[in-house]
Amino acid sequence: MADHSRPGEFDLIKKYLRPLASDESGAASLSDDAAVLPTKDGHRLVVTMDTLISGVHFFEFTPPHFIAAKCLRVNLSDLAAMGADPAYYTLSLSLPLNGEMTCDADWLDSFSQALAIEQDLYDIILVGGDTVSTPGPLSITITAFGWVKTGQEIVRSGATAGDLVYVSGVIGDAWLGLSAVRGGYPELEPASLELITERYHRPQPRLNLGHRLFGVANAAIDISDGLAQDLSHICKASNVSAIIQAGDIPLSGPARVLLEGDTHLINGLLSGGDDYELLFTVPPEWQQTVAGLAKELDLPLTHIGLIESSQQDHLVTILDEAGMKMNLTSTGYRHF
Amino acid sequence: MADHSRPGEFDLIKKYLRPLASDESGAASLSDDAAVLPTKDGHRLVVTMDTLISGVHFFEFTPPHFIAAKCLRVNLSDLAAMGADPAYYTLSLSLPLNGEMTCDADWLDSFSQALAIEQDLYDIILVGGDTVSTPGPLSITITAFGWVKTGQEIVRSGATAGDLVYVSGVIGDAWLGLSAVRGGYPELEPASLELITERYHRPQPRLNLGHRLFGVANAAIDISDGLAQDLSHICKASNVSAIIQAGDIPLSGPARVLLEGDTHLINGLLSGGDDYELLFTVPPEWQQTVAGLAKELDLPLTHIGLIESSQQDHLVTILDEAGMKMNLTSTGYRHF
């Protein structure tokens, strides 16, 4: 645990964060300069890092337990996309000295309690980090570590012409949820509003799915920037193109209701971020395996398109229900 | 590489950061959700994380090459204190959208060029990270990874009554350098001013020393919060106390000159942060070994005090040249 700090950092760490670090892991506790990670026979360590900032990735009024869940889960989603099992994380907290958001002892208490619940849920423990003061907004960086069997990681670059494009769960709810948190969609029923805001606040990292995709999927990515944008990342890395059917994109009940009222919403549903579903490509001969996996995991896995050989004029083509090319007004989630 | 982002992030990453990631390492390149770290027989991975923020850990006017060096080196210093060899790092850049500091393409170019030089110097490579926009100040978080032979990590908790307390290099220059950057000490000669500002801007992680301390030192820490504060961390973790002689603290020429002019400076020299020297405790029978190490590494290693059994009334006692207990006005480096 690094020690350039704010007044009272040591007390804060001891009281709120140290209980999150267990020595059972074999990793050194938070009392040292650094943590020593164990090894695991036949496995390699996968590492990912994400920063979430107040006013950018969450609101100043977002309750600390949602912030805790999201900042950990966006990292776990990256591990899921690689087929890795979560194991450890480090946490850097930049706490605002002033500003509208007060990260006082109550805030830290709620935040660390929520992290403890997440740790139990995903079998991951805190092994180190840093706490600093900032004149800016609350900022949280997590580096997460997971184990993958040697050689069994799933990458973005394996997509092959002829692969079927699949997506897990439903798409666009988090984007709708973001609007709902801002007071949008008052016409929705309370249960529907709750569903989409929950999807925005608490993504479900598809770890069980990612864990099973090795040998089935040629390429995978988690959808953080929007389906269209993230599919283009696979295409770029794999030097292929993709064509998808907008009508095949799986949507939730509330999303269907809203789309009926405003067909332009399809833009946002396909390009809005924060879904944290997995997008993956599968050789056609594994189609039945994917269907079995969906049943076993009780998770929709929907065939939405096809990987083609690299096309000069596009990476990703989206066809509407009439078979016409759609032009998304935005091809990815952009903050600000 | 995570992808919640600012406009043009992908281009920025590609242009400036991707060249810092080499596939030779066996770690996945920046094109994936996460990096897969290699294993190393008989070694374990040490991990540390530090955040540096503009206006807190460096100035808005600090040139990007100094920022790059410092944000990497403070992490390497943590690895040094554990006896680990640097290998990889992940980088999260929070770039200000507005504000006085403009992190434009020129800034990113200088910053990434400086990182490339640091990478060569310390044999470490970038394996992943994140880039986000912030309404706040520039903020940089690095998670650094190093290898240590299994069971040969040095911890804070091994100090034993009777151990001699040693410190590497000289103490307090970085604290003086911080004042000099702010326009202080105009009476110093230019060469002296340059020496202390360089010590503030570019700490020297004592990696060669840390690497040799296993089997010699019972405990070690790097001095980031000030000598007195960091020694108290060793004492707490080891359940011992320490007594040190202020007159034995190694000082640079400029520090001696300034201390002659103002004896109260001793407070700041002992409690100011950012030295990034190693503080370590050694059983008396290894005194000759330490002397040999100092000669071999061409680095002063100075005996400054003694570890005692745990005392009720203090963790760290500092005696002045008359043998009187000193009361430091501050026992550690506090930002703000």
* A23-72 confidence digits (pLDDT tens): 555 565 567 878 999 889 999 999 999 999 999 999 999 999 999 999 99
Give the CA dihedral A240, A331, A198, A93, nearest 10 degrees.
90
* pLDDT given at position B2: 40
Measured CA to CA, the distance from residue B201 to residue B69 in angstroms comes to 8
* pLDDT given at position A38: 87
In this predicted model, which residue has the larger pLDDT, A67 or B28?
A: A67
* pLDDT given at position B27: 60
Q: What are phi and psi of A234, to 5 degrees?
A: -60, -45
CB-CB under 8 Å, A141 with B92: yes
Strands of A219-222's sheet, edge to edge? A219-222, A278-282, A164-168, A301-309, A240-245, A316-319
pLDDT in tens, A211-254: 999 999 999 999 999 999 999 999 999 999 999 999 999 999 99
CB-CB under 8 Å, B148 with A5: no
* pLDDT given at position A105: 85
* pLDDT given at position B332: 47
In this predicted model, which residue has the larger pLDDT, A22 or B295?
A: B295
Residue A159 in this model has a pLDDT that exceeds 50: yes
Residue type, B291: A
Measured CA to CA, the distance from residue A336 to residue B133 in angstroms comes to 8
Mean local confidence (pLDDT), B220-232 = 95
Out of B52, B128, B155, closest to residue A32 by CB: B155
CB-CB under 8 Å, B48 with A34: yes
Please give, rounded to a whole number of angstroms, the shortest distance from the CA of B107 to a CA of chain A. Answer: 20
* pLDDT given at position B7: 47
Measured CA to CA, the distance from residue B18 to residue A48 in angstroms comes to 16
Q: Which residues of A touch B5 (CB under 8 A)?
A: 225, 332-335
- Residue A163, CA distances (Å) to A230, A237, A289, A292, B216 in order: 16, 15, 14, 18, 58
Percent of chain A with pLDDT over 70: 91
Residues 159-218 of A with CB under 8 A from B: none
Strands of B85-96's sheet, edge to edge? A35-37, B43-53, B139-149, B85-96, B125-134
In CATH terms, the fold of domain B156-319 is Phosphoribosyl-aminoimidazole Synthetase; Chain A, domain 2 (3.90.650)
Packed helices B190-201 and B173-181: angle between N→C axes, nearest 10 degrees: 110
**H or E element that contains A227:** helix A227-238
Instruction: pLDDT band for A192, please (50, 70, 90 cuts).
Output: very high
Residue A196 in this model has a pLDDT that exceeds 50: yes
Percent of chain A with pLDDT over 90: 79
* pLDDT given at position B87: 95
List the structure tokens of A31: 């009392």
- Asked if A266 has any chain B CB less than 8 Å from its own CB, the reply is no
CB-CB under 8 Å, A82 with B132: no
In this predicted model, which residue has the larger pLDDT, B55 or B13?
A: B55
**CATH class name, domain B9-149:** alpha beta
pLDDT in tens, B112-163: 999 999 999 999 999 999 999 899 999 999 999 999 999 999 999 999 999 9
- Asked if B39 has any chain A CB less than 8 Å from its own CB, the reply is yes
Domain boundaries, chain A: 9-149, 156-319
* pLDDT given at position B103: 83
* pLDDT given at position A329: 62
Mean local confidence (pLDDT), B184-196 = 95
Q: What are phi and psi of B261, to 5 degrees?
A: -80, -25
Mean local confidence (pLDDT), A298-305 = 98
Percent of chain B with pLDDT over 70: 91
- Asked if B335 has any chain A CB less than 8 Å from its own CB, the reply is yes
Measured CA to CA, the distance from residue A87 to residue A223 in angstroms comes to 22
* pLDDT given at position A327: 81
- Nearest CA-CA partner of A34 in A90, A110, A102, A99: A90
Out of A44, A134, A156, closest to residue B36 by CB: A44
pLDDT in tens, B108-121: 999 999 999 999 99
Residue B30 in this model has a pLDDT that exceeds 90: no
Picking from B49, B94, B276 by the largest number of A CB atoms within 10 A of its own CB, the best residue to mutate is: B49
* pLDDT given at position B105: 85
Mean local confidence (pLDDT), B198-212 = 97
* Helix (H/G/I), strand (E/B), else coil: A253: helix
* pLDDT given at position B14: 73
Residues 240-259 of A with CB under 8 A from B: none
Residue type, B331: T
| Residue-averaged pLDDT of chain B | 90
Instruction: pLDDT band for B38, please (50, 70, 90 cuts).
Output: confident
Out of A51, A153, A236, closest to residue B36 by CB: A153
Q: What are phi and psi of A161, to 5 degrees?
A: -50, 130
For β-strands B85-96 and B139-149, DSSP reports them as: antiparallel
Mean local confidence (pLDDT), A122-146 = 94
Measured CA to CA, the distance from residue A159 to residue A111 in angstroms comes to 39
DSSP 8-state secondary structure symbol assigned to residue A189: -
* pLDDT given at position B325: 92
Measured CA to CA, the distance from residue A131 to residue A10 in angstroms comes to 9
List the structure tokens of A91: 């946490």
Residue A162 in this model has a pLDDT that exceeds 50: yes
Out of B6, B52, B90, closest to residue A335 by CB: B6
Percent of chain B with pLDDT over 90: 78
* pLDDT given at position A99: 65
Residues 114-133 of A with CB under 8 A from B: 127-130, 132-133
Under 8 Å between Cβ of A166 and A244: no
| Residue-averaged pLDDT of chain A | 90
Mean local confidence (pLDDT), A105-133 = 94
How many Å from the N-terminal Cα to the C-terminal Cα in chain B? Answer: 33
Out of B49, B137, B146, closest to residue A128 by CB: B49
Instruction: pLDDT band for A175, please (50, 70, 90 cuts).
Output: very high
CB-CB under 8 Å, A35 with B39: no
Radius of gyration of chain B (CA): 21
* pLDDT given at position A219: 97
Mean local confidence (pLDDT), A280-297 = 98
* pLDDT given at position B3: 39
- Mapping DSSP onto H, E and C, the string for chain B reads CCCCCCCCHHHHHHHHHHHHCCHHHCCCCCCCCCEEECCCCCEEEEEEEEEEEECCCECCCCCHHHHHHHHHHHHHHHHHHHCCEEEEEEEEEEEECCCCCCCCHHHHHHHHHHHHHHHHHHCCEEEEEEEEEECCCCEEEEEEEEEEECCCCCCHHHCCCCCEEEEECCCCHHHHHHHHHCCCCCCCCHHHHHHHHHHHHCCCCCHHHHHHCCCCCCEEEECCCCHHHHHHHHHHHHCEEEEEEHHHCCCCHHHHHHHHHCCCHHHHHHHCCCCCCEEEEECHHHHHHHHHHHHHHCCCEEEEEEEEECCCCCCEEEECCCCCECCCCCCCCCCC
* pLDDT given at position B6: 47
DSSP 8-state secondary structure symbol assigned to residue A330: -
Residue B294 in this model has a pLDDT that exceeds 60: yes
* pLDDT given at position B17: 87
What number of CA atoms fall less than 13 Å from residue B142's CA on the CB side? 24
The residue of chain B nearest to residue A97, with distances taken between CA atoms, is B336
The residue of chain B nearest to residue A45, with distances taken between CA atoms, is B37
* pLDDT given at position B152: 94
CB-CB under 8 Å, A237 with B51: no
- Asked if B315 has any chain A CB less than 8 Å from its own CB, the reply is no
List the structure tokens of B249: 């603290």
User: How many residue contacts between A and B have a Cβ separation below 8 Å?
Assistant: 259
DSSP 8-state secondary structure symbol assigned to residue A316: E
Residue B26 in this model has a pLDDT that exceeds 90: no
- Asked if A335 has any chain B CB less than 8 Å from its own CB, the reply is yes
